[in-house]
Chain A
Amino acid sequence: MTTLPVDNTTIEQPGEGSPLVLGHTSFDTVTSEICRVNEAKKPPFAWYATMVISASLTLMLGILIAYLFLTGVGVWGNNNPAMWGFPIVNFVFWVGIGHAGTLISAILFLFRQKWRTSINRFAEAMTIFAVICAGMFPGIHIGRVWLAYWLFPIPNQMSMWPQFRSPLLWDVFAVGTYFTVSLIFWYVGMVPDLATLRDRATNKIKAVSYGIFALGWRGSMRHWHRYERAYLLLAALATPLVLSVHSVVSFDFAVAQLPGWHTTIFPPYFVAGAIFSGFAMVLTLAIPARELWGLKNFITMRHMENMAKIILLTGSMVGYAYGMEFFMAWYSGEIYEQFAFINRAFGQYAWAYWIMVSCNVITPQIFWIKWCRRNIWILFFASLFVNIGMWFERFVIAITSLANDFLPSSWGWFEPTWVDILTLLGSFGLFMTLFLLFIRFLPILAISEIKGVMPEANPHAGHDHDHEEATS
């Protein structure tokens, strides 16, 4: 085998990227270093500590949902006029988080951004768990949960059908499709790595359980050929899907007549915001994960820096959208529209608006400085701020427009109850529990893809007659 020297530079030179995998020149060490996460007898102490907290929060979420079902949506702060309270804010927040995974796996794949291979697997996992949390909220918000099947066009004795001209129904299809496609994308990408875990399994239980999910994958080149086409097709399909899902979510607002909602900027603005918050969540999760499981050779500073750049880009797009909303409100000459925005910035929810602006517009601007993009602590705290800011963005959009619409006589004030706040906290518990289980039992990095981007994987390494071969 041609041995190439270990290249450990993490500083990007113009025109050539720094290596995607550090410290390895053999495929075998890559396999064992990644599989170590799943094969270790015990996960790090921090895993147990986080698991206890998140599992308790999940339990609390279950109890709160039971309480909600037994009592009714009156346990929440939702009122008239703020019919959409925390559940919809949380729904939009979690769906937004769920956008980075498929963006990384689909859009960056189509753009041949090879650095995605180190982060795509767990960004995809994060997507799926975030969409589970997102889907839960409208589900429990419908009031009469036993009639949840009314969301779907199921033939029934009342000849009653859903209203297909409503964006809320489009949401059912968009989020449902997004969840299904993200799930199969994630799973198909994982099949070769599950086969690796199967072949390394030290006991029967592991071998059989990984074996079943690996579907008998044996690395056949005839299989790889179709596999690669299928993966490319999935990426090509998921790309417009990512853009459509948050566009459809934004239609929930934009199709309504309320001032502050009824604008055409919503779809692109929501999509940019979704990618922004999704990447922030990837950073929030990736930074502790790479420290705890020693994955710094795969998730390098180059990956961190690239994610910081995407956060800077999308954060600036979001900032531009905030400014443009104000401009359009003024330019439209509509008094209601103008009032809605003045009210956001200086009205009863001004505190939420300024939290949003400082977290989403000001925080990412520090990433213009290279030193900040390469400092783990700054990256981590900035990503937390972005998560907070993006939650408040949805709060500002949903609540301010509902609480203060056209007629002052119908204005109101929304205040979350303890159930609202604890349910939001519980959804983080559910998300983290699923994520921790994933880290423990499934391949958290795309092992076969990482091998494929190593310079050693090039079949023409050390050959100088490539062109001659290609034509023969």
Chain B
Amino acid sequence: MTTSPVHTEMHPDTAMVVDDMNPDTGVSQLWGLAAEFSSPAAIMDAAKKVRAAGYRWWDCHTPFPVHGLDFAMGIKYTILPIIVFFGGLTGTCLALFLQVFTNSLEWNIWGIVPVVGYQFEVSGKPLISLPAFIPVMFELTVLFSALTAVGGMLLLNKLPCLYHPVLKSPKLKRATDDRFYLVIESRDPKFVRPRTEELLESLGPDTIIELEA
């Protein structure tokens, strides 16, 4: 890459990965500091204090969703439900179009090959017989919403992400077992090594861990 990484003002929620490698030396730098806690109550208190101290590029890593921690950290409510609504709407419309096109009209659509609809006449019933089309419309609505919910969740979370400083450190492995970590990234404008370390120290963690980029 010849272009230098551009650090735009992004919400910490939307940007998780930045290139912190020193372009001249190629030596990895301090990516952030992690404080280890052993109970949900401790990380809850710590998160409130770190938020109050005005940090923005920070996160908590927990083995299960600690109830209320997301709002204590000041995480904005996700827009996922709105995306899912439109995903579902797409499914409904697509199903209606599919059925009306294939069973009710003799339209011609040109793709790579011409695709022609067919007018199915069944016991003199109307060609556009909406009630009979509802089950498939329902199913495709659910299918599209569910795929959007999962796909949207993964996209917004920037997953899959098989490389990350938090995953790299063997000391943070217990984040999926029984420990609770509060990580402040070094790119935070308020991040000053001694002062941030002091703040983390004041939260009463079990240990403080340095994370390499």
Contacts A221-B70, A457-B64 given: A233-B140 contact, CB under 8 Å? Answer: no
B113 within 8 A of A: yes
Contacts A218-B167, A226-B156, A230-B149 given: A174-B139 contact, CB under 8 Å? Answer: yes
**A217 to chain B: closest residue by CB:** B159
Give min CB distance, B32 to chain A, whole Å. 12
Chain A residues 217 to 243 lying within 8 A of chain B, measured CB to CB, are 217-230, 233-234, 237-238, 240-241
Are the CB atoms of A221 and B66 closer together than 8 Å? yes
> Per a CB cutoff under 8 Å, which of B136, B152, B154, B176 touches A173?
B136
Give min CB distance, A267 to chain B, whole Å. 11
B196 within 8 A of A: no
Are the CB atoms of A234 and B146 closer together than 8 Å? yes
- Chain B residues lying within 8 Å of A225, measured Cβ to Cβ, are 65, 70, 75, 78
- Chain B residues lying within 8 Å of A31, measured Cβ to Cβ, are 63, 177-178
Give min CB distance, B66 to chain A, whole Å. 5
A28 within 8 A of B: yes
Contacts A216-B161, A234-B146, A241-B142 given: A248-B176 contact, CB under 8 Å? Answer: no
- Chain B residues lying within 8 Å of A70, measured Cβ to Cβ, are none
- Chain A residues lying within 8 Å of B122, measured Cβ to Cβ, are 163, 165
Size band of the interface chain A makes with B: 35 or more
Are the CB atoms of B118 and A196 closer together than 8 Å? no
> Per a CB cutoff under 8 Å, which of B66, B78, B164 touches A218?
B164
> B1-9, B54-62, B187-195: which lies at the A interface?
B54-62
Give min CB distance, B131 to chain A, whole Å. 9
A163 and B63 alpha carbons, distance in the complex (Å): 49
Are the CB atoms of A215 and B178 closer together than 8 Å? no
> A180-188, A270-278, A354-362, A427-435: which lies at the B interface?
A180-188
Are the CB atoms of B81 and A233 closer together than 8 Å? yes
**A178 to chain B: closest residue by CB:** B139
B207 within 8 A of A: no
Are the CB atoms of B140 and A173 closer together than 8 Å? yes
A363 within 8 A of B: no
- Chain A residues lying within 8 Å of B124, measured Cβ to Cβ, are none
A370 within 8 A of B: no
Interface string of B132-151 (1 = CB under 8 A from A): 11011011101101110110
Are the CB atoms of A165 and B125 closer together than 8 Å? yes
**A-B interface contact total, Cβ < 8 Å:** 229
B160 within 8 A of A: yes
A403 and B125 alpha carbons, distance in the complex (Å): 30
- Chain A residues lying within 8 Å of B147, measured Cβ to Cβ, are 180, 184
B103 within 8 A of A: yes
- Chain B residues lying within 8 Å of A452, measured Cβ to Cβ, are 64-65, 67
Interface string of B73-108 (1 = CB under 8 A from A): 101001011001000000000000011001100000
**A245 to chain B: closest residue by CB:** B139
> Per a CB cutoff under 8 Å, which of A163, A222, A240, A463 touches B142?
A240
Are the CB atoms of A162 and B102 closer together than 8 Å? yes
**B75 to chain A: closest residue by CB:** A225
B184 within 8 A of A: no
Contacts A181-B143, A459-B67 given: A227-B61 contact, CB under 8 Å? Answer: no
Are the CB atoms of A226 and B145 closer together than 8 Å? no
**B178 to chain A: closest residue by CB:** A27
Give min CB distance, A256 to chain B, whole Å. 14
B205 within 8 A of A: no
- Chain B residues lying within 8 Å of A463, measured Cβ to Cβ, are 41
- Chain B residues lying within 8 Å of A2, measured Cβ to Cβ, are 39, 41
Contacts A170-B136, A173-B135 given: A221-B103 contact, CB under 8 Å? Answer: no
A199 within 8 A of B: yes
A460 within 8 A of B: yes
Contacts A184-B147, A223-B159, A238-B146 given: A199-B61 contact, CB under 8 Å? Answer: no
A457 and B177 alpha carbons, distance in the complex (Å): 13
> Per a CB cutoff under 8 Å, which of B59, B136, B160 touches A169?
B136
Chain B residues 177 to 206 lying within 8 A of chain A, measured CB to CB, are 177-178
**B52 to chain A: closest residue by CB:** A472
14 contacts between A and B (CB under 8 A): A27-B178, A180-B143, A196-B177, A212-B162, A220-B59, A224-B64, A230-B80, A233-B80, A237-B149, A240-B142, A251-B135, A449-B64, A457-B64, A469-B48
A residues engaging B (CB < 8 A)?
Answer: 1-2, 26-28, 31, 153, 155, 157, 159-165, 167, 169-170, 173-174, 176-177, 180-181, 184-185, 188, 192, 195-196, 198-200, 211-212, 215-230, 233-234, 237-238, 240-241, 244, 248, 251, 448-449, 451-452, 456-463, 469
B residues engaging A (CB < 8 A)?
Answer: 13, 38-44, 47-48, 59-70, 73, 75, 78, 80-81, 84, 98-99, 102-103, 111, 113, 115-118, 120, 122, 125, 129, 132-133, 135-136, 138-140, 142-143, 145-147, 149-150, 152-154, 156-157, 159-164, 166-167, 172-178
Q: List the 3 closest pairs (A to B, CB-CB), nearest first.
A: A27-B178, A230-B153, A215-B160
